[in-house]
C-alpha cells in the first residue's frame, strides 16, 4: 500500500494499472520458467488511528491545533519566562488537566479499535497448501491462496469460487453486512475447474481493486496438459466478498484475489475523522473576538502607561527610584514585557475552565441518553448507547437526515396481504390469528365479492409456486422422527401433511419468499428444486413436477422476471411476474382494466404490487428462444444487451392472470417518526441498495411521498426512454426538473419546509446508483460540476429524495455533497448494516440501529438506538435541550468573565497602569473553578426551558433553534453588552461609595483590597443570581449548587482572611472581608448594585408574556427521573 501511494505521489506509472494476474495456489502456468510471485498487500485490516510510538506526538499535535489549547500554552510559557503579576500555576494546571483527560479518552477509544482489528486479523482460517489443510491467521492470507470456508463463517477476503459442497456447484451467501440485504444470494463456481484443486493449474486475470460491490470483470485461463488453455469469463456471480457469510452450503473453496485494505469492503470503508460540532466552531469564533478585546486592552494599557510615565516626575518618583538594572533595560524590550504582563493580567477574560466545563457537560449529559427508559427495547433488552459525547448539541441542529431503508425504515419482513385473480379480490379468512404474518387455518380462498374460475385460481397459484428463484432450506436434523422436515415426505415416499410453520425458504429477495408462503397458505406448496425439476404440492395433495428450462432473471431496467418450465404433459409454459408498468404493455389490453384498479389501490396503501402473467409456448417458439438464450449467455462482449433482446422477444403476447400485494413491514412508528422530522423542518433522504419499486412503496408507506407528490425520476429507465445518448438525455432531464422544481416553484417562506399545508405542488426526487455515477463522474469536468449543482438544487427543493441501488461509497458521496453544499447544513446518517458505515462516518452525526444486521454500524456510529422510532425523541427532545443548554453555557461563560475582567481593566486607569491586580490571587484562581462553575454546570445538565412532552408534541419548536440560532452574533452581542454594563456598574458603583473612604464607625479608611473585595462580592452574587433568573426548571440540585456556591464564597472569604497562613509571604486579605461587612455602607452598596444589575432582567421576566407551549414549561416536572430514582 505504501509503495503504491509513493508511486502515485511521485508520478510513477505502475505496470499493473488496468489488471492483475493471479496464480491459483501460487503455481506457475509454465514449467520452464522460474516462478516469481507478484507482490500484493497482505490481509491485515487497519482502522486504528495511533500506534504506541506515534500516540504522544500525534495526539499532542492534534490537541494543540485547537486554538484555545494553543493560546493557554503560550500564556503559560509567558508566565514562566516573564515576571508577571500572577503565578504560572493559574494557567498551567487547568491546561494540563484538559490535555491529560482528552488524551486518555482518545487513547482508550483507539485501543478499542486496535482490539476490534485484532479480532478480525487473528481469526483462524483454513488454507489449502500442497494438498494439506493448514490453519492460519486471517492476516497471513496472500493473494493466490486457496481458502476453505465453512457454513455460517464470514469470508476473510475477496474470493473467486472454485468448488462447492453442493451438487449443483452453487453456494448461498448473505451480504447483510455489505448492502444491508439479509436475503440469500446464489453464487456459481467457475465452469470446468478440476474437482481436485491440487492439480488445478490456472491463472486469473482481473481488474484492479475498485469499490463497486456489484461490478467485477475477469477471466480465468485453465491449463490442462499440453492443450490450448480454456478461457472462462468471470463476473460478480463468481466473486465472494469479504464480509459476506456462507449460508446453506457446508463448505466452499475459493482463491483469494483481493486482500486486506484492497478488498471491496475495505475500499467502501471511510476512515474515521475527527468530528467537530457547530458549537465548537462558534466558540472558536467568539474566542477570536475576545482575543481581540484582550490584545486591545493590553495595547491601550501599555500605551497609556508610557504616555503617563512621559510626564515629568511620574516615571521615577522620589519614593520609588529605579535600580541600575532597570535603567539599563532596553525601552522596547521593557514595553514588550509590559504588554505581555497586561496580557497575563487580563487573560482570565478567556476561560480555560469553560473547556473543562463543556467537556464535563458533554460527558455527563450523555448519560441522560443512556439512562432514558423510553429508549429501552424489551426485545433485545438494551437501551441507547453513546459512543461520542462530543456531538450531543449537534442533535439539535440537524437539517438533513439520510436513512437506510432495509432494516432501518422497514423490518425486512415481507408479508403477503392479498391478491387479485382475474379482477376478483382475495383475502385471508382469518387475519386476526396470524402466525409469522400468515393465517393458521388453511382452506379455500376467501371471496370478497365473487370468485374467479377454479382453473384461473390454480393457474395463478401455480405461477406463484414456479415463477421465482426460491430454494427450500436443507434440514439440519434429517431423518428425525422418520420425517424430513424440509419437503414434508416420509422416507417411504408417502405424502405427509407438510410442517408448514417449520418450512424454511431462502431467496435473493424476501418478497419472493412471501409470495411462495402466500401460495402455500392457499393450498399450493413449493417442495423444492431437484436436478432441474420443480416439485409442487397442490390442494388435492397431488405432487406435480415441472422441468425448469430457463430463468429470465430480474433486472432493474426490465423490472420483471420469468421462468420457462415444461409440465409432465409436455406443455411448455412461460410464467412472468413484475411491476405493473412493465407487465401491462406486454399483455392483452382488455385484461388490464380488470386488474389496474386493484393494483393502484394497493400501491396507494403502500403495498408492493406485482402482476402475474403467463404464455403457452409452441415447440417452434421455445426452440427459437432456447437457441437465442444459449447464444447470448456464451457471448463475452455485450452479454447483457444480447440477453435483454432475447428476454424482450420472449416476454410478449402474454395473458394477465392477476396481481399480488405484499407488505414490507415498516419499523414500529416509522411513518410517525418521519412525519415528525419533516414537521421539524428536517429533510429526509432515503439511501438504499434496494430496488426502486420496493423503496418507492416504502416511501409512500412512511409518508415521505404523499398522494399529491409529483415524482421526478432520474434512473437508467428514464434515461433510456428518450432513445438518445444517455448523457444528452441526462442533461435534458436535469434542466427539465430544475425548471419545474426550482425556477417555476414559488419562493419558500423561512421556517416552512413541507408544502402540503398550502396549494403548492410537492416534489419527490428518485435517482439510482448508475445515474448518480454519471452525475458525479461526468466525462468532462465542467459538465460534472454543472450536473452536480443542478442535481443539488433540485434535491433541495424537493420534500423527500430517494436514492436506490446505491453502493456504500455512493451513500457517503451523497452525504459529503450535501454536507459541503452552500450553507454547510448539519447532516445525520442512520443505518443498521456495515453497508451504512461509510455514510455514518461521513455525516456530522452518525446513528447506528441495533438491528439484525450485525453490529458494525453500531460500533462506528456516534450514537446507537434500538429502533428508528427513538430518533424522534433523540432529536426533538434530547437534541433540542442539549443545544439550548450548551449555547447558554458558552454565552454565560463569556459574559461572566467579561464582568470579571472589565473592573480589573478600569482599575488600571486609577493605579498608574502599574499592573496592580484588583482581586486577590485566591479570588483570581477560584472565580472560575469554584465560585461560579457548579451552578452553570448543573444548569447545563438539568435545564428544560420547555418540557419534553411539549417538545415531542410540537415538532415545529425544533425550527426555533435551527441554524445555530442561539450562538449567532446577535445573541453574542447582547451577552457582551450585558457584561460591559454589569462590569461598569460594579466598578463605578463601588467607586461612588469610596468617594468617602472613612466607611467604618472608628473612622478607619478602606484600602485597595477592600475595594477589590466589594467589587468581587457584587460580581459573584450578580452572575449567580442572573443564572437563577434564567433557570426555568428547578430541581434540588439547582438549589443546592446555586445557594451552596454563594455560601461557599462567604465561608471561604472569612476563612481565607481570618487565619494567618504560614506558607504565604504576604497576606493581603487578612480580616479584610470581616472588616468590610462591619460597614453598613458596604452592605447597602452591595445590595443596591446587585438589585440595579438584575433590575432589567427582573422587569423583562415580569412583563414578558410567554407565547404558546412555553407557558407550561416552568411548572412541568423534569421527565428525566430524579437521580435518586436512577440509583
For 195-260, give the DSSP string.
SSGGG--EEEEEEPP-S-TT---EEEEE--TTSPPEEEEE-GGGEE-TT-EEES-SEEEEEEEE-G
Rounded-to-integer distance, Cα 148 and Cα 164, Å: 10
Largest CA distance in the chain: 128
Distances (CA, A) of 77 to 89, 293, 785, 928: 11, 21, 48, 21
Dihedral sign for Cα atoms in the order 90, 93, 97, 98: positive
Q: What is the CA radius of gyration of the chain?
A: 37
Q: Are strands 827-831 and 400-403 parallel, antiparallel or unpaired?
A: parallel
Do the Cβ atoms of 878 and 374 come closer than 8 Å? Answer: no
Report the C-alpha gap between 790 and 776 in whole angstroms.
11
CB atoms within 10 A of CB 237: 13
Per-residue H/E/C for 1087-1111 = HHHHHHHHHHHHHHHHHCCCCHHHH
Which set of grid coordinates corresponds to residue 158?
475477496
Give 315's contacts (C-beta < 8 A, 6+ positions apart). Answer: 309
Interacting residues of 299 by C-beta distance below 8 A, sequence separation 6+: 339
User: Residue 54 and residue 51: Cα distance in Å, rounded?
Assistant: 5
With contact defined as beta carbons under 8 Å apart, do 398 and 827 qualify?
Answer: yes
CA distance 106 to 110: 6
C-alpha to C-alpha distance for 363 and 386, rounded to whole angstroms:
10
User: What CA–CA distance (Å, rounded) separates 722 from 705?
Assistant: 26
**Three cell numbers at 1006?**
478602606
Residues in contact with 1065: Cβ distance below 8 Å, sequence separation at least 6, in sequence order:
none
Q: Concatenated DSSP letters for 311-354?
A: STTTSS-TTSPPPHHHHHS-HHHHHHHHHHHHHHHHGGGS-HHH
The three three-digit cell numbers of residue 916, written as one number: 496592580
Q: Are 139 and 122 in contact (CB under 8 A)?
A: yes
Q: What is the DSSP letter of 966?
A: G
Angle among Cα 316, 320, 326 to the nearest 5 degrees reads 65
Cβ proximity of 389 and 366 under 8 Å = yes
Question: CB count, 10 Å around CB of 403?
Answer: 28
Gap between the Cα atoms of 850 and 866, Å rounded: 5
Query: Residue 706 gets which letter from DSSP?
Result: -
What is d(CA 549, CA 557) in angstroms, rounded to the nearest whole number? 23
What is the rounded distance in angstroms from the CA atom of residue 541 to the CA atom of residue 537? Answer: 6
Count Cβ atoms within 10 A of the Cβ of residue 849 and give its class: 0-12 exposed, 13-18 middle, 19 or more buried: buried
Rounded to whole angstroms, the Cα distance separating 1075 from 1083 reads 11
**Residues with active-site annotation:** 404
Listed in order, strand segments (DSSP E) in 90-191 are 124-129, 132-137, 146-150, 158-164, 170-174, 184-188
Amino acid at each position: 500500500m505504501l509503495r503504491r501511494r509513493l508511486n502515485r505521489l511521485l508520478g510513477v506509472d505502475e505496470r499493473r494499472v488496468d489488471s492483475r494476474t493471479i496464480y491459483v495456489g501460487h503455481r506457475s502456468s509454465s514449467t520452464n520458467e522460474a516462478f516469481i510471485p507478484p507482490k500484493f498487500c497482505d490481509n491485515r485490516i487497519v482502522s486504528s488511528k495511533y500506534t504506541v510510538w506515534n500516540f504522544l506526538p500525534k495526539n499532542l499535535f492534534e490537541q494543540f491545533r485547537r486554538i484555545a489549547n494553543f493560546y493557554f500554552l503560550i500564556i503559560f510559557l509567558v508566565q514562566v519566562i516573564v515576571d508577571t503579576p500572577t503565578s504560572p500555576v493559574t494557567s498551567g494546571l487547568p491546561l494540563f488537566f484538559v490535555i491529560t483527560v482528552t488524551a486518555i479518552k482518545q487513547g482508550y477509544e483507539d485501543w478499542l479499535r486496535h482490539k476490534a482489528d485484532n479480532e478480525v486479523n487473528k481469526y483462524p482460517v483454513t488454507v489449502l497448501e500442497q494438498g494439506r489443510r493448514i490453519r492460519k491467521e486471517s492476516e497471513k492470507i496472500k493473494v493466490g491462496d486457496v481458502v476453505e470456508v465453512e457454513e455460517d463463517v464470514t469470508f476473510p477476503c475477496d474470493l473467486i469460487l472454485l468448488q462447492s459442497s453442493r451438487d449443483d456447484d452453487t453456494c448461498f451467501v448473505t451480504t447483510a453486512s455489505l448492502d444491508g440485504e439479509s436475503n440469500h444470494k446464489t453464487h456459481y463456481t467457475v465452469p470446468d475447474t478440476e474437482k481436485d484443486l491440487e492439480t488445478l493449474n490456472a491463472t486469473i486475470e482481473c481488474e484492479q481493486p475498485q469499490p463497486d460491490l456489484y461490478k467485477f470483470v475477469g477471466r480465468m485461463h485453465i491449463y490442462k496438459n499440453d492443450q490450448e488453455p480454456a478461457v472462462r469469463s468471470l463476473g460478480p456471480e463468481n466473486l465472494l466478498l469479504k464480509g459476506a457469510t456462507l449460508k446453506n452450503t457446508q463448505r466452499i473453496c475459493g482463491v483469494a484475489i483481493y486482500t486486506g485494505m484492497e478488498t471491496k469492503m475495505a475500499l467502501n470503508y471511510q476512515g474515521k475523522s475527527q468530528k467537530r460540532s457547530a458549537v465548537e466552531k462558534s466558540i472558536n469564533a467568539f474566542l477570536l473576538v475576545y482575543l481581540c478585546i484582550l490584545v486591545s486592552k493590553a495595547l491601550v494599557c501599555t500605551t497609556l502607561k508610557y504616555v503617563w510615565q512621559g510626564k515629568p516626575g511620574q516615571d521615577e518618583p522620589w519614593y520609588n527610584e529605579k535600580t541600575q538594572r532597570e535603567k539599563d533595560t532596553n525601552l522596547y524590550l521593557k514595553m514588550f514585557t509590559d504588554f505581555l504582563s497586561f496580557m497575563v493580567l487580563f487573560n482570565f477574560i478567556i476561560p480555560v475552565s469553560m473547556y473543562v466545563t463543556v467537556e464535563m457537560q458533554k460527558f455527563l449529559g450523555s448519560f441522560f441518553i443512556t439512562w432514558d427508559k423510553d429508549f429501552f427495547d424489551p426485545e433485545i433488552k438494551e437501551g441507547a448507547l453513546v459512543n461520542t459525547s462530543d456531538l450531543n448539541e449537534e442533535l439539535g441542529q440537524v437539517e438533513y437526515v439520510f436513512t437506510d431503508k432495509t432494516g432501518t425504515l422497514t423490518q425486512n419482513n415481507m408479508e403477503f396481504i392479498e391478491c387479485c385473480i382475474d379482477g376478483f379480490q382475495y383475502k385471508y379468512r382469518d387475519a386476526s390469528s396470524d402466525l409469522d404474518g400468515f393465517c393458521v387455518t388453511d382452506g379455500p380462498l376467501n371471496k370478497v365479492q365473487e370468485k374467479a374460475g377454479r382453473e384461473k385460481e390454480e393457474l395463478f397459484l401455480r405461477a406463484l409456486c414456479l415463477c421465482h428463484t426460491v430454494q427450500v432450506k436443507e434440514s439440519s436434523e434429517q431423518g428425525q422422527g422418520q420425517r424430513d422436515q424440509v419437503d414434508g415426505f416420509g422416507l417411504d415416499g408417502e405424502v405427509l401433511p407438510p410442517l408448514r410453520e417449520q418450512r424454511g425458504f431462502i431467496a435473493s429477495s424476501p418478497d419472493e419468499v412471501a409470495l411462495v408462503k402466500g401460495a402455500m397458505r392457499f393450498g399450493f406448496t413449493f417442495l423444492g428444486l431437484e436436478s432441474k425439476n420443480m416439485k409442487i404440492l397442490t390442494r388435492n395433495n397431488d405432487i406435480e413436477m415441472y422441468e425448469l428450462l430457463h430463468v429470465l432473471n430480474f433486472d432493474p431496467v426490465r423490472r420483471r422476471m420469468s421462468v420457462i418450465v415444461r409440465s409432465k404433459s409436455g406443455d411448455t409454459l412461460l410464467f412472468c411476474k413484475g411491476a405493473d408498468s412493465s407487465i401491462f404493455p406486454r399483455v392483452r389490453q382488455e385484461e388490464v382494466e380488470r386488474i389496474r384498479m386493484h393494483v393502484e389501490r394497493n400501491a396507494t396503501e403502500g403495498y408492493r404490487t406485482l402482476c402475474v402473467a403467463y404464455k403457452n409456448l409452441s415447440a417452434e417458439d421455445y426452440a427459437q428462444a432456447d437457441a437465442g438464450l444459449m447464444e447470448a449467455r456464451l457471448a463475452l462482449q455485450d452479454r447483457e444487451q444480447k440477453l435483454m433482446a432475447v428476454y424482450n422477444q420472449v416476454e410478449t403476447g402474454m395473458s394477465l392472470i392477476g396481481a399480488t400485494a405484499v407488505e414490507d413491514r415498516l419499523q414500529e412508528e416509522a411513518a410517525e417518526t418521519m412525519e415528525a422530522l419533516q414537521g421539524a423542518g428536517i429533510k429526509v433522504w432515503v439511501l438504499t441498495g434496494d430496488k426502486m419499486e420496493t423503496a418507492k412503496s416504502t416511501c409512500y408507506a412512511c409518508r415521505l411521498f404523499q398522494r399529491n407528490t409529483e415524482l421526478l425520476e432520474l434512473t437508467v429507465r428514464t434515461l433510456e426512454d428518450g432513445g438518445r445518448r444517455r448523457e444528452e438525455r441526462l442533461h435534458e432531464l436535469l434542466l427539465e426538473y430544475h425548471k419545474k422544481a426550482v425556477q417555476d416553484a414559488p419562493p419558500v417562506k423561512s421556517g416552512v419546509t413541507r408544502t402540503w399545508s398550502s396549494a403548492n405542488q410537492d416534489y419527490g426526487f428518485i435517482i439510482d446508483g448508475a445515474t448518480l455515477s454519471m452525475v458525479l463522474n461526468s466525462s468532462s469536468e465542467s459538465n460534472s460540476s454543472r450536473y452536480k449543482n443542478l442535481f443539488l438544487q433540485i434535491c433541495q427543493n424537493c420534500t423527500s429524495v430517494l436514492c436506490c441501488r446505491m453502493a456504500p461509497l455512493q451513500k457517503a458521496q451523497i452525504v459529503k455533497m450535501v454536507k459541503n453544499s452552500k450553507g454547510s447544513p448539519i447532516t445525520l446518517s442512520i443505518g443498521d448494516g456495515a453497508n451504512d458505515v461509510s455514510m455514518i462516518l461521513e455525516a456530522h452525526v452518525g446513528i447506528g440501529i441495533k438491528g439484525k444486521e450485525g453490529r458494525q454500524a453500531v460500533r462506528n456510529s456516534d450514537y446507537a438506538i434500538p429502533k428508528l422510532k427513538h430518533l424522534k425523541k433523540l432529536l426533538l427532545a434530547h437534541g433540542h435541550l442539549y443545544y439550548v443548554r450548551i449555547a447558554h453555557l458558552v454565552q454565560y461563560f463569556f459574559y461572566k468573565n467579561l464582568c470579571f475582567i472589565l473592573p480589573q481593566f478600569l482599575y488600571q486607569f486609577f493605579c498608574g497602569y502599574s499592573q496592580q491586580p484588583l482581586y486577590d490571587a485566591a479570588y483570581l484562581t477560584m472565580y472560575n473553578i469554584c465560585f461560579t462553575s457548579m451552578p452553570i454546570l448543573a444548569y447545563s445538565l438539568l435545564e428544560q426551558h420547555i418540557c419534553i412532552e411539549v417538545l415531542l408534541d410540537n415538532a415545529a419548536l425544533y425550527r426555533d433553534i435551527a441554524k445555530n440560532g442561539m450562538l449567532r452574533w446577535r445573541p453574542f452581542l447582547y451577552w457582551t453588552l450585558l457584561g460591559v454594563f454589569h462590569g461598569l456598574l460594579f466598578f463605578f458603583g463601588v467607586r461612588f461609595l469610596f468617594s468617602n473612604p472613612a466607611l467604618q464607625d472608628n473612622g478607619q479608611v478602606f484600602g485597595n483590597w477592600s475595594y477589590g473585595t466589594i467589587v468581587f462580592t457584587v460580581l459573584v452574587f450578580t452572575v449567580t443570581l442572573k443564572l437563577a433568573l434564567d433557570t426555568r426548571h428547578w430541581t434540588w440540585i439547582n438549589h443546592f449548587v446555586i445557594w451552596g456556591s454563594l455560601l461557599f464564597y462567604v465561608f471561604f472569604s472569612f476563612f481565607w482572611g481570618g487565619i494567618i497562613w504560614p506558607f504565604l509571604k504576604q497576606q493581603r486579605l487578612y480580616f479584610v472581608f470581616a472588616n468590610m461587612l462591619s460597614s453598613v455602607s458596604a452592605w447597602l452598596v452591595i445590595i443596591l448594585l446587585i438589585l440595579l444589575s438584575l433590575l432589567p432582567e427582573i422587569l423583562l421576566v415580569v412583563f414578558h408574556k410567554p407565547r404558546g407551549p412555553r407557558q407550561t414549561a416552568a411548572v412541568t416536572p423534569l421527565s428525566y427521573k430524579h437521580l435518586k430514582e436512577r440509583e
